C-alpha cells in the first residue's frame, strides 16, 4: 500500500477530489458516422470492414481510387500522411494505421469492449498477437505473395510456414489467438489467414488453424458479402502481376 494513504488528510483529499470530479463518461465517437477510407483488394481495408460489421458501427465508407492516385491528394494526405489505406476521420480525429483503427473502434463501442477488454493481462496478450500479425505473419505472407512477378524463394516459403506453425502453437493454448475468446487479434489474423486459404495455400497441416478459421468466419456478420469480394479483388491484382 502507498505510504501516502496512511495519512488521513490525504485520504480525505482523495475522497473530496473524487466527489468533485466524477469519472468521465464512456468514450463516444466524435461524429455519428465516422469516415472510413478504404480500397477494395486491400487486406487491411478488409479487416476494418469486417470490424465495422462485428462492432456494429455505421461508418461513412469512402472509397479511395489508388489507380488514380487519390491517396496522394492534399486533402487525403491531411488525413493520412502515409498515403495508405485504410484511414479514418472521426470529426477531425484521424488515424492512418489499420490496427490502430481497429483498437479505436473497440474502445468506442460496447461490443468492442468485450473483444478488447481493459484487463491489462488480456490486453497485453491481444497486443502481442496484433504485433505478431503485422510484424511477422503478414510480412511473411507478402514475401511469398507479392506483386513483383517473381517466384518466392525457398527461404520465403519456409518463413511463412514457420510463422503459421507459431500461430498454430498460440491456438493450442485455448483455441483463440490471444485469450479464451474471440478478440480483435483474431480479426486481424483472420484477414491474413483467410487470404492464404483463398489463394489455395495448403493449411491442412495446421489442424488448429483449420478449426479456428470457420469459427472466426462465423463471428463476422455478413462475412460472405464483406471479405470474399475483397479477397477476390486482391487475387485479381495478384494474378495480373503474375501474368506480366
Catalytic residues: 42
Q: In whole angstroms, what is the distance from residue 193 CA to residue 170 CA?
A: 14
**Alpha helices by DSSP H, the chain:** 8-20, 43-54, 74-79, 98-108, 110-115, 120-132, 138-144, 154-174, 184-198, 207-219, 223-242
- Is 12 exposed, middle or buried (CB count within 10 Å of its CB: 0-12, 13-18, 19+)? exposed
Collapse the DSSP code of 104 into the 3-class scheme (helix H, G, I; strand E, B; otherwise coil) and give the result: helix
What letter would DSSP give residue 134? I
Angle of helix 223-242 relative to helix 43-54, nearest 10 degrees, comes to 180
Cα separation, 147 vs 209, in Å, equals 26
**Three-class SS state of 94:** strand
Other Cβ atoms less than 10 A from the Cβ of 15: the count is: 10
Amino acid at each position: 500500500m502507498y505510504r501516502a494513504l496512511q495519512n488521513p488528510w490525504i485520504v480525505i483529499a482523495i475522497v473530496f477530489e473524487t466527489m468533485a470530479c466524477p469519472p468521465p463518461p464512456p468514450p463516444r465517437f466524435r461524429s455519428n458516422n465516422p469516415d472510413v477510407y478504404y480500397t477494395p483488394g486491400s487486406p487491411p481495408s478488409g479487416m476494418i470492414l469486417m470490424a465495422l460489421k462485428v462492432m456494429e458501427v455505421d461508418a461513412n465508407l469512402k472509397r479511395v481510387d489508388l489507380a488514380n492516385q487519390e491517396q496522394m491528394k492534399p486533402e487525403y494526405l491531411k488525413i493520412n500522411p502515409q498515403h495508405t489505406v485504410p484511414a479514418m476521420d472521426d470529426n477531425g480525429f484521424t488515424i492512418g494505421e489499420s490496427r490502430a483503427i481497429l483498437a479505436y473502434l473497440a474502445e468506442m463501442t460496447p461490443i468492442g469492449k468485450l473483444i478488447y477488454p481493459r484487463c491489462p493481462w488480456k490486453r497485453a496478450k491481444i497486443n502481442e498477437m496484433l504485433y505478431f500479425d503485422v510484424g511477422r505473419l503478414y510480412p511473411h505472407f507478402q514475401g511469398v505473395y507479392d506483386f513483383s512477378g517473381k517466384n518466392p524463394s525457398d527461404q520465403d516459403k519456409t518463413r511463412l510456414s514457420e510463422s503459421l506453425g507459431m500461430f498454430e502453437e498460440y491456438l493450442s493454448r485455448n483455441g483463440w489467438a490471444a485469450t479464451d475468446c474471440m478478440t480483435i487479434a483474431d480479426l486481424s489474423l483472420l484477414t491474413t489467414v483467410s487470404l492464404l486459404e483463398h489463394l489455395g495455400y495448403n493449411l491442412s497441416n495446421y489442424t488448429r488453424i483449420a478449426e479456428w478459421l470457420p469459427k472466426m468466419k462465423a463471428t463476422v456478420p455478413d462475412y460472405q458479402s464483406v471479405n470474399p469480394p475483397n479477397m477476390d479483388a486482391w487475387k485479381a491484382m495478384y494474378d495480373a502481376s503474375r501474368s506480366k
